[in-house]
Structure 1
Amino acid sequence: MFAYVLGETCMRFIKILMIGLWLVSKMVYAAEPAEFDPTATNKSLDKMITELNGKNKTKIEAEEFLNTLNVTLSDAQNAQKQYTLELANITKKIEALKSATNDGETALPGIVKELEQYEEKAGKYKYMLAQNALVIAKIDEINTLILKKRNRELINDILVKQSSIFQPEEFWHSLLSFGGFLQEILVSPFNWYKKLTPEQRENALNSLAMLAFMLAVALIAAVIIKSFILRHYGYNLDISVPSYGQKFKAAVWIFIAKGAIAAAIIAALLMWLERFELMKDSEFAILLKIFAAYLLYFLIFRAAVLASFAPKNPDWRIFDIEAKKVRRASNALLTAALAITSVSFFNRLAEVISHKTEIIYSMQILANGIKAAAIIWAVYRGMYDAKDLSDEEVQSGDIQKLSFSSQIALAIILFMAISFAFSLFGYISLSQYLINRFIISVAVISGMYVAFRLLKIFYRFVIRAKFWIRTFRINPRTLLKSEVWFGIILSPVFYVLGILILLAVWGVSVDILLSKTKGFLTGFNIGEVHISITSLTLGIISFWVAMLLIKMLKSSIVEGALSKLDFDDGMKNSIISGVGFFGFIFSVILGIAVAGGSFKSLAIMAGALSFGAGLGLQNIVSNLVAGITILFERPIKLGDLVVINGFEGVVKQISMRSTILEMGNKSNVIIPNSTIISGSVVNKTLNNRIARIDIKIGVDYGSDITKVKQILLQIAREDTGVLKEPAPALSFLEFADSSLDLQLNCFIANVSKSGEISFRLREKIIEAFRQEGINIPFCQQVIRPAENLFNSNLSDSG
């Protein structure tokens, strides 16, 4: 029964998934409706409503109705868009014709005739829009009817009241019938053999002997293959910290070795049973087939548990579970699986072979009880980790709260106890529904978790290939960031997909939910405003794609093919800033256009922003305007040495809002662009990088001025960093108190080397003055102790 429910649920979800993919494809590739007639469609929908309200509609017919409704809804929505567009165009023409006639004047006959034609067309489209809206409303009504019908059938199926276990006579009779059923199963091989003729018995014995020999050979081969796989592809204990990809790869090989090979042997046995004519349709054959099928389920589950939990190799498990819980959890799961598989085998056998309701009744109660007990046992052993409290802790009241896993375990235990209690009171179908759906939900959650981890590993494997760095020159840090964003995006996708699968498992009409979600995504009206979530999403995606292309263009200007153009750094920076600014504006306009926004609304938004700028955004706007002015007039450029508001530094960046200076101590100064435009700026490298350095020197009054002049000018002329033109010059500044002050003026080619050249010239001047005996005077101070000064005054007075 459990396998049947699982298979039915899987098929149902596959169908729902196909419907969902179809809906997405219709949303993306929806074409204009061809010959869609809303009036005729309304009549067909009325007929559907009448049939659904009748009590003789089957579940399959309701499903067919739902498939038809999906197509009709898509056509209706496409037709509504087309009719709305046509009506808007006709309305514009009507307004244009009306504006051609001044107030109080009589309209020309031709204009009146055209107005009547367009107004007639407008009325037709309004009628079609009304009929189309009626179609959509009726489709919603039919979906609601199908949903109610499904819910009613589900409730009627699971809330069937049967005899309670507290009625001992009927329950005892059921147990006696079950005992007879077991006896019938045990003697079924002998009954089958007795019904055969002597010739058939001989053929059967020969076939069974051949089957036994083939199974023995297969088992020996399976043991050899299993040992080979475990030795070469199993756990590599030399790896101390394996990655998740290595863990999963080893888990797959362990699963193949411990489960897939045995499963293949059992599958071969099932195929042999299908072709063995002497056993066909006999109870013994049915017994063997069902037994082999459930044995196959258990072996696959056992292999999956051992491969996933790796109880003997804790570093290789693919589920994050504490080491002390792994053995308990795996043993509990295997015990529970064995119990559930065994009882499901007998339950399924009773449904297929026996037609006595009392046998099925007792088997269902027994199956529910064993399943619930097995789940409780597995949860308690694997998740409940609360320690026993001592008497001192109980008396002191110092009691720690249960861990989250223990709380979940208690909730599951309570849920299983309540679910099985329904069986005791006669609601066996409800109990079976709750327990089976819980088991399937756990399987779904586990599968989604493994799939999520595998997708992340696959993406990590793809982006770490050197192909991306070598071909597209992508920074490795960018690839690592993309891995983080991939996980962030993938998580909600898996959450939504998991929720949809779980809803389908528990009987929720996910196909109708997807249909309603599709209607919400394709658009809805709030007053006269049409809002489409899909269009908004596409608009946002278009905006970011355009911004990415702009960023790639800027990178190409800096380092790519466009960097080979003959532009200096300042012009290149101006182009990059302009591309960034106007590219952002273009991206915004493109996003609004793709989202279906009106540029009339954009003009209103721009007016609102202008009003806001007049109130509180004037500084931002003035900086933006100043930035554009700087980029085009270029009073300063990238790399210029400037002095702005007392800050001297090199221009490192010019953006639309501000300019960044790098000072001599490597600190950065951010200056608003409006300050540059409105204030005074000293640009030492506006036209070229030539600069003058001034070196002040003082010599004593006894020095030969002619000789000093000759030495200074010779040093300046011989220095390689000093320009020949303009030639170095010497200025006589003043007669100071203790020196003759002179100034050596030299021009250099690059202002950034002024410090280096100044140091070199001063060093040469000192060395030359020392060689020629020219003194550089310095201030001298004579300091006398106060005590000596006091004694001197006393002696003078004496």
Structure 2
Amino acid sequence: MRLILPVLVAILLLSGLAFGQTIDPEVRAGIEARRVQLEAIESLLREDPREADLVALSEEVRRLRQEAALAEAPVARQIDALRAELEALGPPPAEGEPAESEDIQRERRRLNQQLAEAEAARAQIALNIAAAERLAGRIAELRREAFTEDLFARTPFLISPELWTDALRGFQEGYGNAVAAYRGWYDSTSERGRLDVAFGSIIGALVLAIALLVPVRRALNRLIAKRIAGLEPYPSRRVILAAVRTAASVLPGVLGGFFLYEALRLNGAIPEEGEVLARAIWFGFIVLLLADGVASAVFAPRLPAWRVLRLETRSVFVIRGLLLGSAVVIVVDRVLIRGAEVFGGSPALTTVQEGLVSMTLGILLFLLARDRLWSRGEDTGAEAAGPARVIEGEAPPGAPEAPARVVAPAETSREEPRKARTRIRVFVRILAVIAVLAPLVGYTNLGYFIATRTFALFALFGLVWSLRALMREMVRLADRKFSSKALEEAEGDERLLLSWIGIIIDLLALAVFVPPALLILGAAWADVRGWIVDAFIGFEIGNVRISLAKILTAVAIFALLLWLTRQAQKAAETQIFPRSRMDKGVQNSLRTLMGYIGLVIAFAAGVGTLGFDLSNLAIIAGALSVGIGFGLQSIVNNFVSGLILLFERPIKVGDWIITSSGEGIVKRISVRSTEIETFDRSSVIVPNSELISSSVTNWTHKDRIGRIIINVGTAYSSDAKRVIEILEQVARESTDILNYPAPFVVFEDFGASSLDFSLRAYIRDVSESLRVRTRLRVAIHERFREEGIEIPFPQRDINMRDLPEDFFDRAFPPKPGDPA
């Protein structure tokens, strides 16, 4: 004991130097600095929140909270280390027990002091986090109040004469400043003697831009139309062609606009203070080109067969015109706003401009939301409706045959989306009415916000939807190009993988849509960026941190391993199995087991990536066992039975079996059930437990050799020995009958009207039994006819007695002219 105690004290001292140090001064200073900053922000909000930059304060509070959360983890680890050291020292001696040595007491006091300091630091961090969350909520509330107050602020009525007078005065002032800026550039260029060169280069760039915008675009569109003239307009081709036509319509105009912009900038026609306006014009020009290109490509007014949305031609032209008109209004609005910032304006001019824009866009939005423009796209189109299904009409016996009626497939399932689209259009029309009426009653800000943001949201949705559709069609094209015919005809694994890829594409499209949509609806970029960061950093559940980054990584790993499993199954099915001598049943079992193993590995890797301890799955297994005890016995029974079928292989793919549920060929053995294809091409899904617990006749379990029996009867006047010889000879002459075991004939019985014989023979492939029986019966019939052996049919003698004497006279009365 005297030797052990000093060694223990030395170990504890060394561990205390490594893990039991006091809180780092920098960490303590950071905790205190964050507390002071949070108190200063709270004081600022308490004094005058309207003068504060709420967006900047929100970003600062979020940063302080994140720093506090990051500082909490090392302090918590230090507290755990100190508690572990105290536990290693053991509990302090109770009253009456021998006292500890001086060294142990000193070490215990030091560890308790450090633990108290660490816990105090963690408590202060928790207070800082709580204060940051409280301030974040307060700032968010103030920002919502400011946004609502600005949105519903009253402005002069749009029909007010004083408003128009002030707006005209502001427009004249801004116009004069713009003219003065142009004259200044004109005079300075003339003084340098470069006016002709400047005008020449600008006019040349303008001519080049017009040439690229008109003739070149038309030539590209004609070339594309010529190349697709002989192609079938499949859905994939329509989407890809829309993307190609959009690029062909936009790129020449963008190139021409770039030349013109550079010509203006190099000749000094764009002053430094006018860069904002020039960029607005340039960006608006690109928006117009993109709107025209997308509308022309998606709706294809001149190529009805290649329309992505199957609409009527008249509706297509109207929608395209309304969309282009809306784009022009929005672009002009943004250009005028930037022009007012450069050359000056007035609040009255801004109010008039926003009111006119709100009313114009509201009218265009109302016209776009009419049901007549979109109804044909919902009710027509072969791709939309799908192949029709014919149901034969039923008629009562003796009545004429009822005509067939045509019913579109999935008619009920299409009703709900149609109703949803109708509700959306009704809601849009309500927004359009508000956008038109709001400026007239003094709520110009509200109407302008509704009109512009609605169009921006629809434009964003259309862009994201187009990218999503293009990605999905590219995946389908790649699948059709690189998948072999054998794999396309395989079970459903490839289609399942494509479904998962489609879901991932939809999630990516949603992730791309949400942040810009929040910005359009009024959220600040700092807030959106903070939400994205918070989503990726995640939140803690116990000791596990759940974050979007981990979820995406886990999904990606799961999908990758599942894809690798499918590739391994493909390689085995196309490269390994064909070169082996294994039958189809063994191949199917191995392929299924590979899928199960790959699925388990992918699931374990995905769950491990999320940070869950796989040992905790024992709790889930316990819950599953309870569920099995209550209601999952049948599912587990079928699953275990499926494993038995795969390993023991009493039944394999390709076998001809007879069960209580039906007779047919085994097509697939899955986890829960086995698919049997009957001889009339119907599928019978049999639970695996039935195949294990019930008797099953398997015609091809060991081999495909089987016995057939042909019954035949002859007249009592026939020579039985000769009949046996003929039947044996027919069997031996047949190429379908095996010589060993040899065929033989059995004299079955003396029947009611015939001597009954049976020919029993073995054939190579029992699946050919029907054809072999037919050929043997034909041969037997021909030989019996040659030998004069009669095959009788049942005959009956009828004796009639106790009939009236005039029965026949009444039953068959004589006709006039009959002999007496």
Going from structure 1 to structure 2, the CA distance change for 1:150 and 1:123 (only over 3 Å counts) comes to same
Show the 5 A alignment for 1:398-477. Answer: 405-417=428-440, 431=445, 435=448, 439=452, 442-443=455-456, 445-447=458-460, 449-454=462-467, 456-457=469-470, 460-461=473-474, 463-465=476-478, 468-469=481-482, 475=488
| Aligned-partner SS, 1:720 | coil
Whether contact under 8 Å (1:661, 1:669) holds in the other structure is yes
Number of the residue aligned with 2:723: 708
Shift of 1:268: 2.2
2:167–2:349: 8 Å Cα contact kept in structure 1?
Answer: no
Amino acid at match of 1:772: E
C-alpha distance in 1, partners of 2:632/2:723?
62
In 1, distance between residues paired with 2:245 and 2:665?
A: 59
Q: Report the RMSD for the aligned CA atoms in angstroms.
A: 5.7
For normalisation by structure 1, the TM-score amounts to: 0.69
Q: Is the alpha carbon distance of 1:664 and 1:254 closer, same or farther for their aligned partners in structure 2, counting shifts above 3 Å?
A: closer
Following superposition, the deviation at residue 722 of structure 1 comes to 1.9
User: In 2, Cα distance between the equivalents of 1:543 and 1:36?
Assistant: 44
The 5 Å alignment of 1:230-379 reads 230-234=217-221, 243=238, 245-247=240-242, 249-255=244-250, 261-262=256-257, 264-273=259-268, 303=289, 306-307=292-293, 314-315=301-302, 322-324=316-318, 326-327=320-321, 330-331=324-325, 334=328, 338=332, 341-342=335-336, 345-346=339-340, 348-350=342-344, 363-379=346-362
User: Are 1:729 and 2:744 matched, yes or no?
Assistant: yes
CA distance in 1: counterparts of 2:308 and 2:747, whole angstroms:
87
Contact in 2 for aligned 1:344/1:367 (Cα 8 Å): no
The 5 Å alignment of 1:128-167 reads: 133-134=126-127, 136-137=129-130, 139-140=132-133, 143=136
Question: Is 2:273–2:342's contact at 8 Å kept on the other side of the alignment?
Answer: no
Q: Confirm or deny: 8 A CA contact 1:229 1:253 kept in the other structure.
A: no
In the superposition, relative to structure 1, how do residues 260 and 405 fare at CA in structure 2: closer, same or farther (>3 Å)? Answer: farther
- The CA deviation string for residues 160-208 of structure 1, in whole angstroms up to 9 with x for no partner, is 9999999999998998798678667766777899xx9xxx89734x222
Query: Which moves more between the two structures, 578-587 or 149-158?
Result: 149-158
Report how far residue 636 of structure 1 moved: 3.5
Distance 2:286 2:276 in 1: 15
Check whether the contact 1:639–1:650 (CA below 8 A) recurs between aligned residues.
yes
CA distance in 2, matches of 1:759, 1:375: 84
Partner residue, 1:644? 659
* Aligned-partner residue type, residue 432 of structure 2: A
- What is the Cα deviation at residue 781 of structure 1? 2.1
SS across alignment from 2:741: coil
**Residues 70-81 of structure 1: matches in 2 within 5 Å?**
72=67, 75-76=70-71, 79=74
Moved more, 515-524 or 314-323: 314-323
Q: Which amino acid aligns with 2:775?
A: R
Q: Write the distance in 1 (CA, Å) between the matches of 2:88 and 2:220.
A: 78
The aligned amino acid for 1:724 is N
- The match for 2:201 is 214
Change (3 A) 1:465 1:629: closer
Structure 1 residues 40-49 or 484-493, which shifts more? 484-493
User: What are the within-5 Å matches in structure 2 for residues 625-704 of structure 1?
Assistant: 625-645=640-660, 647-704=662-719
Q: 1:46 to 1:749 in 2, by over 3 A?
A: same
Q: 1:128 to 1:517 in 2, by over 3 A?
A: farther
Distance 1:166 1:644 in 2: 85
Tell me the distance in 1 between the aligned counterparts of 2:567 and 2:73.
37
Find the residue that maps to 1:273 and give its secondary structure: coil
SS of residue matched to 2:789: coil
Residue aligning to 2:28: 39
The 1-side partners of 2:502 and 2:295 are apart by: 24
Report SS of the residue matched to 1:721. coil
Query: Which is worse superposed, 783-792 or 755-764?
Result: 783-792
- TM-fit CA distance, 1:349: 0.9
- Aligned equivalents of 1:768 and 1:700: distance in 2? 15
- What's the offset of the Cα at 1:382? 5.6
Letter in 1 for 2:34: L
- Partner AA of 1:203 in structure 2: E
Identity of aligned residues (%): 22
Q: Does 1:383 align with 2:378?
A: no
Aligned residues: 700
* 1:335-377 Cα distance to aligned partner (Å, 9 max, x none): 6755774575355312xxxxxxxxx5xx221132123213312
CA contact (8 A) 2:333 2:353 kept: yes
Query: Any conservation in 2 of the 1:663–1:669 contact (CA below 8 Å)?
Result: yes
Q: Is the 8 A contact 2:292 2:324 kept in 1?
A: yes
SS in 2 for 1:756: helix
Cα offset, 1:45, TM superposition: 1.0
1:765 aligns with 2:753: no
The CA deviation at 1:532 is 1.8
Q: What's 2:407 paired with?
A: none
Residues 520 and 532, structure 1, Cα contact 8 Å, conserved in 2: no
Aligned partners of 1:640 and 1:650 also within 8 Å: yes
User: Distance in 1 between the 2:803 and 2:750 partners?
Assistant: 36
Q: CA, structure 1 residues 53+333, in 2 after alignment: closer, same or farther (shift >3 Å)? A: same
TM-score by length of 2: 0.67
Distance, in Å, in 1 between the alignment partners of 2:246 and 2:268 is: 32
Aligned residue type for 1:460: E
CA-to-aligned-CA distance 1:423-444 (integer Å, 9 cap, x gap): xxxxxxxx5x984896477446
**Mapped partners of 2:734, 2:263: distance in 1:** 97
Alpha-carbon distance in 2 for matches of 1:191, 1:657: 84
Report the 3-state secondary structure (helix = DSSP H, G, I; strand = E; otherwise coil) of the residue aligned with 2:746.
Answer: strand
CA shift digits 1:620-648 (9 cap, x unpaired): 33333333334333334444444434854
The 8 Å contact of residues 384 and 405 in structure 1, kept in 2 or not, is answered as no
**The residue matched to 1:698 in structure 2 has which SS?**
strand
Per-residue CA distance 1:465-521 (angstroms, 9 max, x = gap): 589516998749999988887666555654554443343356534534553564466
Q: Distance in 2 between matches of 1:630 and 1:313?
A: 56
Q: Show structure 1 runs of 5+ residues with no match.
A: 1-33, 99-104, 276-284, 351-359, 388-399, 422-430
Amino acid at match of 2:194: S
User: 1:742 is paired with a residue of what secondary structure?
Assistant: strand
> 1:595 — aligned with what?
610
1:410 Cα offset (Å):
0.9
Query: CA 1:562–1:171 in structure 2 vs 1: closer, same or farther (change >3 Å)?
Result: closer
How far the C-alpha of 1:380 sits from its partner, in A, is 1.8
> CA distance change for structure 1 residues 130 and 510 in 2, over 3 Å: closer, same or farther?
farther
Q: Does 1:748 align with 2:735?
A: no
Say yes or no: does 1:718 pair with 2:713: no
